[in-house]
Chains A and B, each alone.
Chain A
Amino acid sequence: DAKTTQPPSMDCAEGRAANLPCNHSTISGNEYVYWYRQIHSQGPQYIIHGLKNNETNEMASLIITEDRKSSTLILPHATLRDTAVYYCAATSGSARQLTFGSGTQLTVLP
């Protein structure tokens, strides 16, 4: 199973872009990278996922390096409500189980 590594915490100023890195150097060719976020005592919320191409949706952008060993989640205009723990995860196995990293606590500062 691919292991993901994330910095434990980051701060970001409100209105600025938040760039959250994730290292997944052991990921294999058919394993997707998923991003979720979790606000205290709630279930994780899906943000975005990708395989090798960059992806964008209404919440965020996902930039995956060409060698697929790392990725960056970009929140283009962070708000106070984006304060949460952000998890990078990789899928594996026939049932596409998720292996979560330790997460990054993002704090958006006013």
Chain B
Amino acid sequence: GAVVSQHPSRVICKSGTSVKIECRSLDFQATTMFWYRQFPKQSLMLMATSNEGSKATYEQGVEKDKFLINHASLTLSTLTVTSAHPEDSSFYICSASRGPSTDTQYFGPGTRLTVL
């Protein structure tokens, strides 16, 4: 199998606080992990690509200082939303792939972030 988990599944926080979301590949080593954001009734938008042990590559328009990504091991990547604001409320989804020779991305169940 290719199972990816995310934690927490949903989080509510106050404006100005930081929130960390974890993404884990449970039964395979993920050379590359991806973070997406999805607003209601919209498609998935890629935020950043991270490779284990190196800095993440952010898509145009995504603030790297606001969305901190750490890919410390081959099974764990974290996304920290710093100084969250209500407009950051969204569905955040991670995916993982085994590496460049196998492109298929397997997605986590997503994290629903609500910023009050």
Interface, chain A (partner B; CB < 8 A): 32, 34, 36, 41-46, 49, 87, 91, 93-103
Q: How far is the CA of A23 from the CA of B100 in the complex (A)?
A: 25
Main secondary structure of the interface of B (DSSP, over half): strand
Q: How far is the CA of A34 from the CA of B49 in the complex (A)?
A: 18
B-chain residues with CB within 8 Å of residue A36 when the two chains form the complex: 107
B-chain residues with CB within 8 Å of residue A98 when the two chains form the complex: 34, 44, 46, 95, 105
B-chain residues with CB within 8 Å of residue A93 when the two chains form the complex: 49
Asked whether B18 is an interface residue with its Cβ less than 8 Å from the other chain, the reply is: no
A-chain residues with CB within 8 Å of residue B17 when the two chains form the complex: none
Tell me the number of A-to-B contacts counted with CB atoms below 8 Å. Answer: 60
Given contacts A87-B43, A95-B49, A95-B100, could you give 10 more A-B pairs where the C-beta distance is less than 8 Å? A36-B107, A43-B93, A46-B2, A49-B104, A95-B51, A96-B100, A97-B49, A98-B34, A98-B44, A102-B43
A-chain residues with CB within 8 Å of residue B2 when the two chains form the complex: 46
Do B103 and A91 have beta carbons less than 8 Å apart?
yes
A-chain residues with CB within 8 Å of residue B93 when the two chains form the complex: 43-44
Cβ 8 A contact of A41, one of B6, B46, B110: B110
A-chain residues with CB within 8 Å of residue B91 when the two chains form the complex: 41
Do A95 and B57 have beta carbons less than 8 Å apart?
yes
Interface, chain B (partner A; CB < 8 A): 2, 4, 6, 32, 34, 42-46, 49, 51, 57, 91, 93, 95, 97, 100, 103-110, 112
Min CB distance B9 to A, Å, is: 10
- Residue in A closest to B97 when the chains form the complex, CB atoms: A96
- Residue in A closest to B106 when the chains form the complex, CB atoms: A46
Min CB distance A108 to B, Å, is: 20
Q: How far is the CA of A91 from the CA of B103 in the complex (A)?
A: 8
Q: How far is the CA of A93 from the CA of B109 in the complex (A)?
A: 25
A-chain residues with CB within 8 Å of residue B106 when the two chains form the complex: 46
Cβ 8 A contact of A44, one of B42, B57, B107: B107
Say yes or no: A41-B44 contact (C-beta < 8 A), given A49-B103, A91-B103, A96-B100: no
